[in-house]
């Protein structure tokens, strides 16, 4: 997970946020294949941990447009002493901060405010047969979710723990 500095211009009317900048994305070597928006209504909802299996890994730029989330990226790469570590970041619509999730990472988040809206800029094609997930509370990862009251989809509850 890499923090990104997104330029935002604010004044008394509100703000102006440039979501797409070809030069910025060119410097990241990032090509947009998908643009997605997710709205999560309830505080404490956990979405994830999701990923696309090889060779269909995705890279994602994640920005919180409204609300606030605890964002998590879990390293799935099999490199010495690095597998299964996770990084987290609070993404806050007031700060308009963003992160880059690299290939080989599972991604998820927990909502900290109601009606949190997330924008995803995704490099890579979504292929239904290649999607995967890890159970949110896997003891091998030990994510410290900030809220103890949580809600999960049936699909996210069905993910298996890592072997």
**CB atoms closer than 10 angstroms to residue 138:** 17
| 120 belongs to the catalytic site | yes
Q: Which domains does the chain have, with CATH numbers?
A: 2-158 (2.60.120.10)
Q: pTM for this one?
A: 0.89
pLDDT digits (tens, 9 = 90+) for 69-94: 999 999 988 766 656 789 999 999 99
Which is the catalytic residue, given 15, 20, 107, 120? 120
Q: Answer yes or no: are the C-beta atoms of 69 and 120 closer than 8 Å.
A: no
Flag residues of the chain having pLDDT under 70. Answer: 79-83
CA distance linking residue 71 with residue 79, whole number of Å: 23
| 20 belongs to the catalytic site | no
Q: Using DSSP, state whether 91 is helix, strand or coil.
A: strand
Q: Using DSSP, state whether 23 is helix, strand or coil.
A: helix
CA distance linking residue 117 with residue 41, whole number of Å: 9
The candidate with the shortest Cα–Cα distance to 17, out of 66, 60, 59, is 66
b/e burial code for range 143-154 (CB count within 10 A of at least 16 → b): bebeeeeebbee
């Amino acid at each position: 997970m890499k923090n990104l500095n997104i330029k935002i211009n604010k004044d008394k009317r509100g703000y102006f946020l440039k979501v797409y900048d070809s030069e910025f994305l060119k410097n990241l070597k990032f090509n947009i294949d998908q643009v997605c928006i997710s709205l999560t209504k309830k505080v404490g909802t956990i979405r994830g941990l999701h990923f696309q299996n090889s060779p269909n890994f995705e890279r994602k730029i994640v920005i919180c447009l409204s609300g606030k989330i605890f964002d998590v990226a879990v390293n799935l790469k099999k490199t010495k002493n690095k597998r299964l570590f996770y990084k987290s970041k609070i993404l806050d619509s007031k700060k308009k901060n963003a992160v880059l999730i690299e290939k080989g990472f599972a991604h998820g988040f927990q909502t900290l405010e109601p009606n949190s809206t997330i924008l995803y800029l995704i490099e890579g094609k979504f292929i239904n047969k290649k999607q995967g997930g890890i159970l949110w509370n896997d003891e091998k990862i030990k994510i410290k979710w900030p809220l103890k009251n949580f809600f999960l989809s049936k699909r996210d509850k069905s993910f298996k723990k890592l072997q």
